Structure 1
Amino acid sequence: MQTSSGAKLDFGRVALLLVFLGVGGFFWDSPALWPLKVLVVMIHESGHALATLLAGGAVDRITLAAHESGACLSRLPATHFAQVAVYSAGYVGSALAGAFLLLATFRFRLRRLVLVAASVGLAVMGVLYAGDGFTLAFCLGTALALGLAAKYLPDGGVDMVNLFLSAFTALYVAFDLRSALGHGAAAHSVSDASLLANLTPVPSWAWAAIWSFVSLALLGLFARWSLRAARPEGLGSSLLSGRR
């Protein structure tokens, strides 16, 4: 399998990515996937928080709920551009996280380092900004699980964890778009899209469609870069290889 530039894609990785997408989509409502949904919500809210800090604002707290919702309460700069950027950051934050996870794992062979970075980042966000006990417990517990996976799983296992997290991020973006378009602005009166609609002439469904398309395009582009076959002198392309 080749890209338009002639670079060969690793068929095993591409096939496994498609399997993960299919499994995640089929079992989307399974309780077994609940921790992953809450994790992506936390990544989403962290995107808002980081954008707030970059824009010169202040983050008061982040809260997660067991029913897979979340909120980032911040004090934003008064500028119109800063507010649009912060409200938009949640839509693309999780997509960028998944995209860089793919790139760091398969393009730069930083599989363990990127999982450790995710563990540390999640713990730091929880300690600094968790607004309640559930949010803090989830962040610290998930950070511990990711850290243990980075330390004890073989290389192939870490690759599969990272690939599944990236696939699940893409699914979450797609299902979020379906929810926004299927239920309309009335059912999402406090959604990011509705907040953006209040600031601009663009309706909430259009904002949801725009940022979901951009997010999925980013994930697709990074996947194309990341899932190329390794050169013979590299560290190997098999996801199922053992620890070296």
Structure 2
Amino acid sequence: MDKYLIPESKEEIKNAFILAFSIIENLKKKDILLLTPTKNLMQLQGLVEILGENSVNRLRHNDVVVTKECILRLESLRTFTHSHNNSIIIGIYPSKTMFDKLDDSNADVIIAVPSIITPDVQQWIETWTPKIYSEKIKKMEKEFIGNCVVKKSLEHLTSMLKTRDTHDMMIRSDFGNGITVALFKFLEENNEEFDPISIRKWAVNNSWSSEEADILQDMSQKVFDGRRIRRSIPIWTEEDLKKWREECNE
């Protein structure tokens, strides 16, 4: 069992996901369990910033969230059992009780995400000598959306939706909604893979508000899941796709 520690910072939860997604590429089983003290939404705000409120609410109600990389599940200390064999467990804000459960689990990889270095955290470090999240791993953040064509298409979409005066995204309008849905359908039809959670993270780091990013993620998730969506304005062309691909090859 490999063990990692994410040092405390303003981006500790995000760093844990970057590390987990980089590790799971080399694991046979593709699932990540998020272990938290409780399922209280107020204590899950760090997850909301990364996954979006819709995904976190699904996890809180014992549903799974499927991404291109893996399957995500959420358990609290009260509901967690060792019977499920997990590839990666991310222990968020661990206490001694959580550390005991993590150490007794059957996971391939443990990632501990403490908010501060308490005596319990220090004891776990001294006992197991976990690998520490490093600057080298931080560089993976730039590749959070691994598909360059998807990034180029999102940049194109952003330029079309951003208002001149307020810089808000017109994604709630019929036009904005329609071309956004059409974009994800267009990408899928042309075998350009995308991941809704990664798309949300890209959006909040590129001028989109959290609420706008949630809407963007929700639209991409519906297309990703194969659900029927009526509102679609198919403006995207083969010329757009050719341009995005050429820019990625420069």
Q: Which of structures 1 and 2 has the larger relative contact order (alpha carbons within 8 angstroms, sep 6+)?
A: 1
Pick the structure with more helix per residue: 1
Pick the structure with more strand per residue: 2
Q: Answer whether TM exceeds 0.5 for this pair.
A: no
Larger radius of gyration: 2
TM-score range, shorter chain: under 0.3
TM-score, normalisation: structure 2: 0.25
